[in-house]
Structure 1
Amino acid sequence: MQLKPINQQVVAVVGASSGIGRVAALQFANRGAKVVVAARSQPGLESLVEEIRSLGGDATAVVADVSDFDQVTKIAQTAVDTYGRLDTWVHNAAIELYAAFAVTTPEEFKRIIEVNLLGQAYGAMAALPHIKRTGRGALIHVSSIEAKRSIPLQSAYAASKHGVDGFLEALRVELKHEKLDISVTNIMPAGINTPLFNKARTKLGVKPMPTPPIYQPSLVAKAIVEAAERPKRDVVVGDVGKVLLFLQRIAPSLVDAYLLRTGFDSQYTNEPKSENTPDNLFEPVTGYDKIEGDFSNQARSWSL
């Protein structure tokens, strides 16, 4: 399958106000793509569009909550209305809850599924008709290594990411059956240094952190941009993620034992954080519209 060069593409990046989505949008624009950026945070999108345009790029923003299908369709339609077509859809929007399953409420679990799973499905549904009209293109969905292996204290998040992997597997074969030149890629990052950990709801009593080793979001963005030009199936970002998923395939009980020993304390910082601290589970929070989180001094900008 031959996809267009990046500088000939119109790309929608959903979940672009911070972290992986923000740096991916910048990388696409730097390579010459026309970019539609979407998220719930209007200030984050406005600053991103301003940054892209100041660097000579072309970007348009759409404020949207991906749990609302009509708002997701508006993102895809904006790409077509503004630039005439849609070539690549990058779906990165996600929220997180750090809590034991026993203290997770039905409303919290439902909200994680609505954004992280249904939102991803809505994105593919909204983008596909437009991509089909161009004759070729890419659906790139950012999930997590938790699409294949769940981690304790993240049951709702892991369930949503497993669901993403499931519907992408079916969709990929259906598109091949239709003989369509549309690639479907599942990007599965390990622990990434993004502002997610500042914005996530936590019932741990402290601010959570990614399980080390931690990687910079630019590595994930690089994988996303590459998949938009050269089709890939599954991409694990972070060498520790590759090791974990390999062990999960051959000895899942060994991974259970490993996570029983290391999977709890490794997600705790020493910074107290109340359960009542504002989070972005249901509404966006301000002040975190940036690429990197608070773990830059621990994060790797490389991966084997």
Structure 2
Amino acid sequence: MPQQVAVITGAGAGIGRATARTLGRAGCDVALVGRNRDRLGDAAAELHELNVRTHIVCVDVANAAAVEQAAEEIEEKLGPITLWVNCAGATVTGQVAALEADEIRRATEVTYLGTVNGTRAALTRMRRRGHGTIVNLDRLASLRPPPLQAVENGARAAVRAFSESIRPEILHDGDRIHIALVHLPAINTPRYSWTRNHTGKRLKPMGPVYEPEIAAEAICRAAFDQQRDIWVGLSGVRNWLLSTFLPGLSDGWLAGKGYARQMEKTAVTGDEPDDLYETVPGAYAAHGRFDMVTRKGMPLLLTTRHAQLATAMGFMGMLLLALRRKRK
């Protein structure tokens, strides 16, 4: 493929770190964007072993002006940006009544406005050339948005609506810029160790857990195959059906089970370091501490084409059923 310059926010750890490796192996030059220079340096060192050109930019994605400046710097060092992946995020976990307004604002700025700032910076430069790809991340649909995660649920819903609103704007202007959404289940990243936590217990992922390399593979397929949406795994489809047809049951289940399934029995003091305002020191990489419970195989990656096919088959099934009843 032609030489690609990929920008990855949140590239120091977790999904961003895994995506950087995957894109590097695919032949991209990679710009690593994040707040922790040491972890970005570790990620760059891994890519140098693969003979990948890299550039590090230490920046807070919530700062729109800083993201714009970072994009200019990347194009000066590596060349025109062809792919931008918004992986950066931060959140606060706990009942909404227990959260501070500043915590909610900050988490929303990093996760939602960080995606907005990255998307705008990419669009500005891609429109000069009329083509490019932007990948944003969404949470996979569950029974209902789980309790204790209202801040991230709101931010990811905003990312989804924002991305869907941009698509007709690009189509209107005639640019060949692709906006992809990757809908992810629980991923084994270090975030469970450094999320600001008001629950009093150590956090753990809810539902099927996958390794960050699975998320990276889905991101790459969305980018290179020009997929509109990719859903990782079948649980999202199952849960969507349950929440649609049995909403009262799903709310009751989450009220009864949703708390325990997100927390371990180990208590926390409440003064553990978190990454909401400042980065957490330490040599964190892509994986979190849940390697023993993750699903190792590649799950089914459902694309927009699969969804369209399923919708068409469902429509044909209903039509045939209606015709059969009419004949009777």
**TM-score in terms of structure 2 length:** 0.87
- Shift of residue 237, structure 1, vs aligned partner: 1.9
What is the CA deviation profile of residues 242-274 of structure 1, one whole-angstrom value per residue up to 9, with x for unaligned ones?
322343344433432332232110001123222
Q: Is 1:185 the equivalent of 2:180?
A: yes
Out of 105, 123, 130, the position equivalent to 2:118 is: 123
Q: Does 120-129 or 268-277 show the bigger shift? A: 268-277
**1:12 and 1:75 in contact (8 A); partners too:** no
2:95 and 2:10 map into 1 onto residues whose CA distance is 26
1:273 and 1:36 map into 2 onto residues whose CA distance is 36
**2:143 and 2:250 in contact (8 A); partners too:** no
What is the CA deviation profile of residues 71-93 of structure 1, one whole-angstrom value per residue up to 9, with x for unaligned ones?
21123212211122010110010
Aligned to 2:40: 45
C-alpha distance 208-17 of structure 1, shift in aligned 2 (>3 A): same
**2:218 and 2:230 in contact (8 A); partners too:** yes
Aligned to 1:141: 136
**1:186 and 1:235 in contact (8 A); partners too:** yes
Residue 108 of structure 1 aligns to a residue in which SS? helix
C-alpha distance 111-207 of structure 1, shift in aligned 2 (>3 A): same
Q: Is 1:74 the equivalent of 2:69?
A: yes
Out of 60, 65, 72, the position equivalent to 1:65 is: 60
**TM-score in terms of structure 1 length:** 0.93
2:55 and 2:22 map into 1 onto residues whose CA distance is 15
Residue 104 of structure 2 aligns to a residue in which SS? helix
**2:141 and 2:239 in contact (8 A); partners too:** no
Out of 208, 211, 220, the position equivalent to 2:215 is: 220
Q: Is 1:201 the equivalent of 2:196?
A: yes
Q: Does 250-259 or 230-239 show the bigger shift? A: 250-259
Out of 24, 28, 31, the position equivalent to 2:23 is: 28
Q: Which runs of 5+ in 2 are unaligned?
A: 301-328
What is the CA deviation profile of residues 196-245 of structure 1, one whole-angstrom value per residue up to 9, with x for unaligned ones?
00010111112101103211111110011111111122222233233223
Residue 143 of structure 1 aligns to a residue in which SS? strand
Aligned to 2:320: none
1:79 and 1:109 map into 2 onto residues whose CA distance is 31
C-alpha distance 248-183 of structure 1, shift in aligned 2 (>3 A): farther
C-alpha distance 115-47 of structure 1, shift in aligned 2 (>3 A): same
Equivalent position amino acid for 1:35 in 2: V
Q: Is 1:289 the equivalent of 2:284?
A: yes
Q: Is 1:105 the equivalent of 2:100?
A: yes
What is the CA deviation profile of residues 19-61 of structure 1, one whole-angstrom value per residue up to 9, with x for unaligned ones?
1000100110111100101011111000111110022111111
* Identity %, equivalent residues: 29
Q: Is 1:83 the equivalent of 2:78?
A: yes
- Shift of residue 149, structure 1, vs aligned partner: 4.6
Equivalent position amino acid for 2:156 in 1: K
Equivalent position amino acid for 2:93 in 1: Y
1:105 and 1:197 map into 2 onto residues whose CA distance is 20
CA root-mean-square deviation: 1.7
Q: Is 1:94 the equivalent of 2:55?
A: no
C-alpha distance 148-240 of structure 1, shift in aligned 2 (>3 A): closer
- Shift of residue 146, structure 1, vs aligned partner: 5.9
Q: Is 1:247 the equivalent of 2:242?
A: yes
Equivalent position amino acid for 2:46 in 1: E
**1:86 and 1:134 in contact (8 A); partners too:** no
Higher relative contact order (CA 8 A, sep 6+): 1
**1:12 and 1:35 in contact (8 A); partners too:** yes
Aligned to 1:14: 9
Equivalent position amino acid for 1:297 in 2: M
- Shift of residue 288, structure 1, vs aligned partner: 4.8
Query: What pairs with 1:257-272 in structure 2 (closer than 5 Å)?
Result: 257-272=252-267
1:161 and 1:89 map into 2 onto residues whose CA distance is 18
Equivalent position amino acid for 1:213 in 2: P
- Shift of residue 287, structure 1, vs aligned partner: 1.6
Q: Which runs of 5+ in 1 are unaligned?
A: none
Equivalent position amino acid for 2:28 in 1: A
- Shift of residue 151, structure 1, vs aligned partner: 1.2
C-alpha distance 172-252 of structure 1, shift in aligned 2 (>3 A): farther
2:260 and 2:144 map into 1 onto residues whose CA distance is 18
**1:64 and 1:71 in contact (8 A); partners too:** yes
Residue 165 of structure 1 aligns to a residue in which SS? helix
